[in-house]
Copies of this chain bind each other. A is one copy, B any other.
C-alpha cells in the first residue's frame, strides 16, 4: 500500500460518506437540510420536531443548534438519546441515525465550542434574535418583548446539539426490492449489514 493511502481506521465510517453524498446531491434544495429529531419526554411519551442540520463534527457526529430553554433541551438533559430521520423525496431515500445526543453546555470540547462560535457568526440576525426572545413554550408574550438586538458573541441560550450515532440506517425505495442497510457501532467498530426492508 502506498504511503499516501489514508489509514482506514482514521476514516469516518462508510455511512458518513454515503450520507454526505446524498446531502450533496440535494444541496440545491434548502429543505434537504431539515431533519426530524425524536426524543423522549419526561412522562415517557415521544417528542418529534424539525431541525436544521448545521454541520458535521468528528467521528460523524451531527450538529444542530438549540435554544437551551427549549423542550428538547430539557428532554435530552434527562434522557440523552435521539433518533434523527431524514427523507430525500426526489431520491426516495431515508436515513435514520440513533445515538446519544447532548447539549454542548460543556465548553471542555474545544472542537464543539469553536463550532459554536462559527455557527453563531454565520446565522442571520433574524435567527440570532430568536435566542433572545422570551422563553419558548410559555404563554405568548407581548410583541414588544420580541424586539431585541442580537449580540456578536453567542448568548448562553445558544447551544449546539451534538448527536453521536450508534446505529444508522439507509433505506433506498427506488430499488425493487427496496434496499435497507444498517450500520451498528460495537466493540469491533462499525458493523455493516444488509437487512430486509
Binds B, one of A5-13, A46-54, A57-65: A46-54
A-B contact pairs, 6 of them (CB 8 A): A44-B79, A46-B83, A47-B96, A48-B84, A48-B96, A139-B196
User: Is there a chain B Cβ closer than 8 Å to A194's Cβ?
Assistant: yes
A175 to B46, CA, bound (A): 28
Name the B residues within 8 Å of A141 (CB-CB). Answer: 196
Find out whether the CB atom of A38 lies under 8 angstroms from the CB atom of B48.
Answer: yes
Chain A interface residue count, CB cutoff 8 Å, equals 49
Evaluate contact between B196 and A46: CB separation under 8 angstroms: no
Decide if B98 touches A45 in the complex (CB within 8 Å): yes
Give CA–CA (A196, B138) in the complex, Å.
Answer: 5
Stretch at the interface among A17-25, A29-37, A106-114: A29-37
- From B38, B40, B133, contact of A177 by CB (8 A): B133
